[in-house]
C-alpha cells in the first residue's frame, strides 16, 4: 500500500485503533515512528525488520512488557522512548551495542 513512498515521519500517538502490524513495516524511508498511548502490548522483531532508516521510535504510554533484542539492534536507531510501559529495564550494552550511542527512555 505505501511501498515506494517517501514518508519520513509517522505520528499515530493517541490513535486508539492503531494495530502494530502490516503496512507500517513497508515504509523503507521512515525515520520517525510515534505510536504512543495506543494500548500496544507487543512489539516483535518482524514489526520493524523492514525499517532500515528508523532513527526515532516512540512507543511510550503503552502496555509493552518485553522488548525484543532486535529493536535495540536497529542500526539507525538514535532514540527509543519506552516510558510508561511495563518494561522494567533494558541495558543496550548487554546486547552488544556499546560502540553505538543512543537514548533509551524507560
- Ordered domains of the chain (ranges, CATH): 1-106 (3.80.10.10)
Consecutive 10-residue averages of pLDDT for the chain (106 residues): 65 71 63 91 80 90 86 86 82 50 66
pLDDT at 55 (0 to 100): 93
- pTM check: above 0.85: no
List all residues 6 or more positions away from 94 whose beta carbon is below 8 Å from its beta carbon.
none
pLDDT at 2 (0 to 100): 47
pLDDT at 29 (0 to 100): 86
Cα 14 to Cα 18, 36, 41, 64, 99, distances in angstroms: 9, 6, 15, 16, 34
Amino acid at each position: 500500500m505505501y511501498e515506494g513512498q517517501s514518508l519520513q515521519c509517522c505520528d499515530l500517538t493517541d490513535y486508539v485503533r492503531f494495530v502494530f502490524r502490516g503496512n507500517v513495516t513497508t515504509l523503507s524511508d521512515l525515520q520517525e515512528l510515534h505510536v504512543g498511548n495506543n494500548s500496544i502490548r507487543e512489539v516483535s522483531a518482524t514489526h520493524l525488520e523492514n525499517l532500515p532508516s528508523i532513527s526515532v521510535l516512540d512507543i511510550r504510554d503503552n502496555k509493552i512488557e518485553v522488548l525484543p533484542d532486535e529493536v535495540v539492534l536497529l542500526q539507525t536507531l538514535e532514540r527509543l522512548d519506552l516510558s510508561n510501559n511495563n518494561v522494567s529495564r533494558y541495558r543496550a550494552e548487554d546486547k552488544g551495542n556499546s560502540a553505538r550511542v543512543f537514548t533509551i527512555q524507560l
